[in-house]
Amino acid sequence: DADVTQTPRNRITKTGKRIMLECSQTKGHDRMYWYRQDPGLGLRLIYYSFDVKDINKGEISDGYSVSRQAQAKFSLSLESAIPNQTALYFCATSWTSGPSNTGELFFGEGSRLTVL
């Protein structure tokens, strides 16, 4: 089983609908991130969280919200989806500190969202 699991893997929805993408991890990491991937733009950070009570905006947070329900779970919501939110979304995790903190982020397999 994957250490970082995203659901759903694929989703097609209509403009104006509310969508939630979920991420869960079994790595025991405290930091979690949501990125968006668009062709030619690389990955851009939407939100990140250091722990359940610490959530921070990334560079493209407008139109998105997040919830850190537990250390292992971090969900991304689109309250009213629009077509330019069509993209591949990735969740990632990492350590905050300690000898295992190499700076590496561990990514899920991605959630492909299409907004019609």
Partner 1 sequence: GDSVTQMEGPVTLSEEAFLTINCTYTATGYPSLFWYVQYPGEGLQLLLKATKADDKGSNKGFEATYRKETTSFHLEKGSVQVSDSAVYFCALQFRNQGGKLIFGQGTELSVKP
- Give min distance, CB of 35 to partner 1, in A: 8
Query: Does residue 45 belong to the site contacting partner 1 (CB under 8 A)?
Result: yes
Query: Does residue 42 belong to the site contacting partner 1 (CB under 8 A)?
Result: yes
Query: By the 8 A CB rule, do 26 and 72 touch?
Result: yes
> How many residues bind partner 1, per CB under 8 A?
26
Distance CA 115, CA 87 (A): 9
Site for partner 1 in 77-106 (CB under 8 A): 90, 92, 94, 96, 102-105
Other CB atoms within a 10 A radius of the CB of residue 93 amount to: 26
From the list 18, 27, 44, 57, which residue makes contact with partner 1 (rule: CB under 8 A)? 44
From the list 33, 68, 85, 113, which residue makes contact with partner 1 (rule: CB under 8 A)? 33
Helices (H) and strands (E) in the chain, counts: 0, 11
Distance CA 52, CA 99 (A): 22
| C-alpha closest to that of 63 among 13, 22, 16 | 16
Q: Which residues bind partner 1 (CB under 8 A)?
A: 4, 31, 33, 35, 40-45, 48, 50, 56, 58, 90, 92, 94, 96, 102-105, 107-110
